[in-house]
Chains A and B, each alone.
Chain A
């Protein structure tokens, strides 16, 4: 087995720009599937819209390419419809944090047993580099030419507050850890959220004069710190497993509803 059990090699190279982090992320996800030996037909990869919305094209699993921001809402139906499936919702920061924010927090609150992955490159790359809810205060973008007068979401904090049972942050620089968190998220049996910080040299990097992909990746590396060494007043972002708690997963809780209603007799 290899990642090419899950990634369609004939489709490579990807259509993403040179230096984009998306390819690294789908490789990490395929490696997680591979190491967990999940049968292809038991996986559903759900995507939204934007550059990362094309990720499902590369997967030789069930693929569900949906609408902007709605990946988690569709994934909710898929997981409830067939709780035996491994359901992964792949989103960019526009998908997860902006238009789909409501679905994200409610799926976390329900503790629905899916993995939600946010590829965070801090802007809307596909539409030309507009600022997103994860752009930083003062950032330049196609729509903040004078510097952004808004602050960024801390998505991991948001999803923890909403009730997720597993939350981790990584970067495309910390590849091996990323694979580890994805595997843990997939097998958690509760709502799992993994945020991956990554560069978008074509848009975000260009507008903010951050250089080419290698320089951007180094900057991302330098602005994070392992959660064990992280201090609350630090100006760095913690990476690692930020939450890992055990609580009842939604479809397990609903199985109890079915039992109480008398619907578990083979109907």
Chain B
């Protein structure tokens, strides 16, 4: 069934396909339609919507509901994300699956409430104190927005980690045809249930890349979830060995398994001297720029990042082989460009094409740098 969906509606369709059963929200432009639609959809399947008193409460309620065994989601924009950060850390530490949709708008602060921005790339990764990894996806089409919402749930459940879906004001409100039937057989991942046979440990892990199996509050096991650094029983610990194991595992279960997580779309040309790397709404301008540059006889590689965190180092390395410069169009002061530069080093020139005035980047502004 083809539907003419906006990005915000696409998030709701993806969430329903993934099996979302709880949404804790707080209104904020330009994400509000997600809450409006899902508040009507969830009770139709026995799910629950609650509008909390602030964004701190909305993500906190999601974390609580997730621990009862439900798939949970919230949606916000930059200012709300700023308030949610303590709970991002909570979900990382307590290892609670949750999906956070960040419909980006222009900053800083209240900034440009109704205009586009892409300035939250580093905030989602580094905003929570301690600097532990999360997963973030970025969609640039409406079909991708449906798919990546499902994928965000899958990754959250699989890795017991907060997963961000990053869209923006334009993606949220532009409409494209999407065939929802094409997601009928899309794989759905559910959290691994803890064994009924072994002694139950809420954070049981053998290796540094393990993700502990889960039990829900109210089930057979007595579950402990904790924001304090804890051992495998969920009890606070000051034993350096146990702390090392826990913290290193929080890092490695994401970073060492980046290959299982990272997705991108590349379109490479033999003999290319330049490359365009982009994501989200800016990737649409970038794609058009590459088409026009090639039509004018230039050889250009194109790389669209669909995963932003863990950063797809491998994709950037492979796609940049042989090029002398990389153009990175983005609606911020060079957040992805900084990562690209980290990956490729100084031998390849990284050129930022940016805008922070609420407008999108035009293809010709990218072509001028190729």
Residues of chain A at the chain B interface (Cβ within 8 Å): 40-42, 44, 46, 49, 54, 56-57, 60-67, 70, 73-82, 84-85, 102-103, 106, 254, 257-258, 260-264, 266-267
- A56 CA to B202 CA, complexed, in Å: 15
Contacts of B48 in A (CB 8 A): 80-81, 254, 258
Q: Cβ of A73 and Cβ of B226 under 8 Å apart?
A: no
Q: Cβ of A103 and Cβ of B44 under 8 Å apart?
A: no
B359 lies within 8 A of chain A by Cβ? no
Contact size class for B? 35 or more
The smallest beta-carbon distance between A148 and chain B, in angstroms, is 27
- A171 CA to B18 CA, complexed, in Å: 49
Residues 43-60 of B at the A interface (beta carbon under 8 Å) = 43-48, 50, 52-54, 56-57, 60
Q: Cβ of B90 and Cβ of A62 under 8 Å apart?
A: no
Q: Cβ of B50 and Cβ of A76 under 8 Å apart?
A: yes
- A235 CA to B67 CA, complexed, in Å: 45
- A267 CA to B44 CA, complexed, in Å: 9
Contacts of A46 in B (CB 8 A): 64
Residues 20-56 of B at the A interface (beta carbon under 8 Å) = 22, 24, 40, 42-48, 50, 52-54, 56
Q: Cβ of B43 and Cβ of A78 under 8 Å apart?
A: no
Q: Which 3 A-B pairs have the closest CB atoms?
A: A77-B64, A81-B68, A261-B43
- Tally of A-B Cβ pairs under 8 angstroms: 145
Task: Given A74-B60, A74-B61, A78-B64, check contact A263 B52 (CB 8 Å).
Answer: no
- Known pairs A63-B226, A64-B224, A267-B44. 14 more at Cβ < 8 A? A62-B218, A63-B225, A67-B87, A73-B56, A73-B57, A76-B52, A76-B57, A76-B64, A77-B60, A77-B67, A78-B67, A254-B48, A263-B42, A267-B46
Q: Cβ of B22 and Cβ of A80 under 8 Å apart?
A: yes
- A260 CA to B46 CA, complexed, in Å: 11
Contacts of B72 in A (CB 8 A): 77
Q: Cβ of A40 and Cβ of B222 under 8 Å apart?
A: yes
- A238 CA to B327 CA, complexed, in Å: 70
Contacts of B67 in A (CB 8 A): 64, 77-78, 81
The smallest beta-carbon distance between B188 and chain A, in angstroms, is 16
The smallest beta-carbon distance between B233 and chain A, in angstroms, is 10
- A59 CA to B68 CA, complexed, in Å: 18
Q: Cβ of A81 and Cβ of B228 under 8 Å apart?
A: no
- A117 CA to B232 CA, complexed, in Å: 28
Contacts of A85 in B (CB 8 A): 68, 217-218
Contacts of A266 in B (CB 8 A): 46
Q: Cβ of A82 and Cβ of B225 under 8 Å apart?
A: no
| Proximity bits, B180-211, A CB within 8 Å = 1, else 0 | 00000000000000000000000000000000
Task: Given A63-B234, A80-B22, A258-B46, check contact A106 B53 (CB 8 Å).
Answer: yes
- A208 CA to B301 CA, complexed, in Å: 72
